[in-house]
Amino acid sequence: MLTVYLDDSGTHGGAEVTVVAGFVSTKLRWDAFRKEWARALRRERIELFRMSDLENRRGEFEGWSKERTETFRGKLFDIIRQRTLAPIGSALINADWERVMPAHIRSEWGGSYGWCAEDCAHQVYKWAKRTGTPGKFRYIFEKGTIGHGQISKMFADYTTDPKWDAFQIGDYSFEEKKVMQLQAADLLAYETYKHMCNRGKRPMRRSLALLLAGQDTRYLQFHNAERLMKMVNAASELDRQGKLD
């Protein structure tokens, strides 16, 4: 069973964007990741990595120089690129979601976080299909996140209803941020949030470009109002044809 670790960003009140993002990999690769990540943190005497703390040089990173910050971040990027199979993510602008999505869809997914998590499962399905990867996937989310209920609502249906078998969802759970794979997901979710807020205003952040260098980014999705509307129209057409339960 392959495992997908996903974290969120922008689920706090008043956020401009909602993001769910992370990485998929095998147990063997995740085991190697965990050892290398722990070694990198131990060398810098860091107990718990949070990208927002590193970016703002606060908490355990208070007083760090720009050079030390970039060097450490680069080491983490190297570990992620070497030990994960693909970045997975979904991001949307909350104002677009509220304006475009019909009430029944917002209710079905429980909110924008649940919808983004479902889209991540869809991206994993597309990755598995394109790469010919068999078997089930286990999903791990951060424990205590604001969108906990939305995730449970959606994944409970996906793991019990046979009509969703194609998504290859084995099980799901919620873990503490001390799980190092979730720290990598936190890093991608943070960078994706920043990128989504800056789209159309600034180029891609150098840090995100470095993180994604050489990776297949087809499964990292950015949804504006136009894309959301196309998805709503497509779903409505399938429903009209009786092809959507």
pLDDT-based confidence at 37, cuts 50/70/90? very high
Predicted local distance difference test score (pLDDT) of residue 235? 62
pLDDT tens for 54-85 read 999 999 999 999 999 999 999 999 999 999 99
Query: Is the distance from CB of 44 to CB of 37 less than 8 angstroms?
Result: no
pLDDT tens for 112-155 read 888 888 899 999 999 999 999 998 999 999 987 777 777 787 77
**Distance (Å, whole) CA 131 – CA 177:** 30
| CA dihedral over 218, 221, 225, 228, signed as positive or negative | positive
Predicted local distance difference test score (pLDDT) of residue 241? 53
Is the confidence at residue 7, as pLDDT, over 80? Answer: yes
**Distance (Å, whole) CA 186 – CA 120:** 15
Query: Locate tokens 């939305």: which residue?
Result: 150
pLDDT tens for 158-199 read 777 777 788 888 888 999 999 999 999 999 999 999 999 888
Predicted local distance difference test score (pLDDT) of residue 237? 56
Return the higher-pLDDT residue of 100 and 46.
46
**Distance (Å, whole) CA 224 – CA 202:** 16
| CA dihedral over 9, 87, 64, 176, signed as positive or negative | positive
Predicted local distance difference test score (pLDDT) of residue 143? 87
Predicted local distance difference test score (pLDDT) of residue 167? 82
Enter the pTM of the model: 0.91
Average of per-residue pLDDT values in the chain = 88
Is the confidence at residue 244, as pLDDT, over 50? Answer: no
Neighbouring C-alpha atoms within 13 Å toward the C-beta of 139: 28
Predicted local distance difference test score (pLDDT) of residue 240? 54
Return the higher-pLDDT residue of 224 and 127.
127
